[in-house]
């Protein structure tokens, strides 16, 4: 199938290469949702490649005003105005001559200019000019039939609500329906795009985030692993922590390509264990990435130096990358996409997210949070990245609570850090709750974090630790 590439990278990816050529598409959404800029971006990308566009407006917006709005975007170029980007004021014609002659006028202009792309913006205004629904329906079907004989890809732009896409007659003749909308999420005003229909071809379904930037439209596809990559092999290589007693409890370390939840209360040492995991890999030349939502790289390097670990040496060599992401500004739609690009480009073998509790607090929809983590873990496994997600638990003394959001189901391994009472003192205990495919220890072991690093001590003898 021949396609019209939009020239918007991730949009073409969602469309599996582009919009079917010579199709009739409706771009719907509320005022300010970005419909016109999306279509203009597509048009100018194609005009620059030699195609011709006829842009018909129905709101009596002058060409000068149109240009003034667009010239702020980098995709715009006035070199093509009047030659390959042809502007026409359809609104004025309809108001003077009436809607009865609208189809005749549209076809007359199409015959004159022979465009590759035709845009009518806004098509909803034409609907409003018809007093009779039956007459408008006849107009819509005649328009579709008339345009089908011309080799032209059509975009009808309109201020439609999503529920109207199921009831109004113009959507019945559409080959493609693109619906744009915005909503408040936590601290963010976000815009989304959904493809409701695309006749004759497959596409990526679901809600895709997009932004309007000075460069134009930037799309962030919905995060999901590629289906064919979900049949990844279970790897048997082990990735040790470099803490002999813990590695012994794990029968050699974490299996390569698995995801581990490191769960514990505040101050139990989750970040310290995770740093040690990356350091051990760096000694062997493995690249590690530490994403922190709580501490800056300088703070992490300082903390490591207090334990006798020369973290800064591996950061300078580039073997370990430390990134701080403010949870206040965290947008998971964008962050996960950037994270996966970094992992692929930098050949990351060990990853730490410290902590995914910050992820949770930035997502308004709990199911969306779970979907993100599922997609992320499946993609990491498919790429053979061995990952640790730290999780903050509020109950400092209970070993049975990993996380309240059931994300433990995603993990291959679960290591619990907790406080225990022993001899009228508060001590720290470690246990391995789960390690898929590994004959792991069931012991409760005491541990200490000292200026010499992490020291795993003997088994705890109290019988009531699992209260």
Would the pLDDT of 429 be above 70?
yes
* Three state DSSP letters for the chain: CCEECCCCHHHHHHCCCCEECCCEEEEEECCCCCHHHHHHHHHHHHHCCCCCEEEEECCCCCHHHHHHHHCCCCCCCHHHECCCEEEEEHHHHHHHHCHHHHHHHHHHHHHHHCCCEEEEECHHHHHHHCCCHHHHHHHHHHHHHHHCCCCCEEEEEECCCHHHHHCCHHHCCCCEEEEEEEEEECCEEEEEEEEEEECCCCCCCCCEEEEEECCEEEEECCCCCCHHHHCCCCCCCEECCCCHHHHHHCCCCEECCCEEEEEECCCCCHHHHHHHHHHHHHHCCCCEEEEECCCCHHHHHHHHHCCCCCHHHHHHHCCEEEEECCCCCCCHHHHHHHHHHHHHHHCCCEEEEECHHHHHHHCCCHHHHHHHHHHHHHHHHHCCCEEEEEEECCCCCCCCCCCCCCHHHHCCEEEEEEEEEECCEEEEEEEEEEECCCCCCCCCEEEEEECCEEEEEEECCCCCCCC
What pLDDT digit, counting tens, does each position of 316-363 carry?
999 999 999 887 777 777 888 888 889 989 999 999 999 888 777 766
pLDDT > 70: percent of the chain = 90
Q: What is the average per-residue pLDDT within 302-328?
A: 93
Q: What is the average per-residue pLDDT within 453-464?
A: 79
- Cβ atoms within 10 Å of 209's Cβ, excluding its own: 22
In this predicted structure, what is the pLDDT of residue 232?
64
Would the pLDDT of 42 be above 50?
yes
Would the pLDDT of 462 be above 70?
no
Q: What is the average per-residue pLDDT within 125-140?
A: 89
Instruction: Assign 183 a pLDDT band (cuts: 50, 70, 90).
Output: confident
Q: What is the average per-residue pLDDT within 225-243?
A: 74
Would the pLDDT of 378 be above 50?
yes
Would the pLDDT of 62 be above 70?
no
In this predicted structure, what is the pLDDT of residue 360?
75
In this predicted structure, what is the pLDDT of residue 464?
47
Q: What is the average per-residue pLDDT within 424-430?
A: 87
Backbone angles phi, psi at 380, to 5 degrees: -65, -40
Q: What is the average per-residue pLDDT within 57-66?
A: 73
Average pLDDT, the chain: 88
Backbone angles phi, psi at 211, to 5 degrees: -125, 150
Q: What is the average per-residue pLDDT within 303-325?
A: 94
Would the pLDDT of 40 be above 50?
yes
Would the pLDDT of 187 be above 90?
no
In this predicted structure, what is the pLDDT of residue 316?
96
Would the pLDDT of 70 be above 90?
no
Q: Which sign does the torsion angle of CA 395, 407, 192, 215 carry?
A: positive
In this predicted structure, what is the pLDDT of residue 98?
82
Residue with the bigger pLDDT between 368 and 155: it is 155
In this predicted structure, what is the pLDDT of residue 153?
97
- Cβ atoms within 10 Å of 437's Cβ, excluding its own: 13
**Two tokens at 190?**
């976000």
Instruction: Assign 68 a pLDDT band (cuts: 50, 70, 90).
Output: confident
Would the pLDDT of 228 be above 70?
no
Residue with the bigger pLDDT between 343 and 394: it is 343
Length of the chain: 467
- Cβ atoms within 10 Å of 400's Cβ, excluding its own: 11
pLDDT > 90: percent of the chain = 60
Would the pLDDT of 1 be above 50?
yes
Would the pLDDT of 402 be above 70?
no
266, 291, 324, 390, 448 from 263: Cα distances, Å: 10, 16, 20, 6, 16
């Amino acid at each position: 199938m021949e396609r019209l590439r939009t020239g918007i990278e991730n949009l073409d990816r969602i469309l599996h290469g582009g919009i079917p050529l010579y199709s009739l598409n409706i771009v719907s959404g509320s005022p300010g949702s970005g419909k016109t800029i999306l279509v203009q971006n597509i048009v100018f990308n194609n005009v620059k490649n030699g195609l011709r566009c006829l842009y018909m407006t129905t709101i009596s917006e002058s060409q000068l005003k149109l240009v003034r709005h667009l010239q702020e975007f980098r995709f715009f170029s006035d070199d093509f105005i009047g030659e390959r980007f042809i502007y026409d004021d359809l609104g004025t014609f309809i108001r003077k001559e009436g809607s009865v002659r609208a189809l005749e006028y549209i076809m007359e202009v199409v015959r004159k200019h022979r465009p590759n792309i035709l845009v009518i913006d806004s098509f909803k205004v034409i609907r409003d000019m018809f007093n009779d629904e039956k007459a408008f329906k006849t107009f819509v079907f005649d328009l579709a039939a008339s345009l089908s004989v011309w080799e032209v890809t059509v975009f009808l732009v309109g201020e439609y609500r999503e529920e109207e896409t199921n009831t109004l007659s113009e959507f019945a003749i559409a080959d493609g329906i693109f619906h744009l909308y915005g909503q408040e999420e936590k601290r963010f005003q976000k815009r989304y795009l959904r493809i409701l229909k695309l006749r004759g071809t497959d596409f990526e379904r679901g809600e895709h985030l997009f932004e309007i930037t000075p460069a134009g439209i930037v799309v962030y596809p919905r995060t999901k692993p590629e289906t064919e990559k979900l049949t990844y092999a279970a790897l048997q290589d082990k990735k040790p922590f470099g803490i002999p007693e813990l590695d012994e409890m794990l029968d050699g370390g974490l299996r390569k390509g698995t995801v581990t939840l490191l769960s514990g209360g505040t101050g139990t040492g989750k970040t310290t264990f995770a740093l040690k995991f990356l350091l051990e890999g760096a000694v062997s030349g493995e690249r590690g990435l530490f994403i922190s939502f709580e501490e800056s790289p300088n703070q992490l390097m300082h903390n490591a130096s207090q334990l006798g670990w020369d973290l800064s040496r591996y950061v300078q060599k580039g073997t370990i990358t430390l990134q701080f992401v403010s949870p206040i500004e965290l947008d998971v739609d964008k962050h996960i996409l950037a994270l996966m690009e970094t992992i692929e480009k930098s050949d990351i073998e060990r990853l730490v997210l410290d902590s995914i509790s910050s992820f949770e607090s930035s997502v308004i929809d709990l199911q969306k949070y779970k979907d993100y983590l599922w997609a992320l873990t499946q993609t990491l496994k498919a790429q053979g990245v061995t990952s640790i997600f730290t999780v903050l638990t509020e109950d400092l003394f209970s070993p049975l609570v990993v996380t309240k959001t059931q994300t433990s189901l995603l993990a291959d391994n679960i290591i619990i850090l907790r406080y225990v009472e022993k001899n009228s003192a508060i001590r720290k205990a470690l246990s391995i709750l789960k390690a898929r495919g590994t004959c792991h220890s069931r012991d409760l072991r005491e541990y200490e974090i000292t200026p010499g690093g992490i020291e795993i001590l003997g088994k705890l003898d109290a019988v009531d630790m699992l209260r």
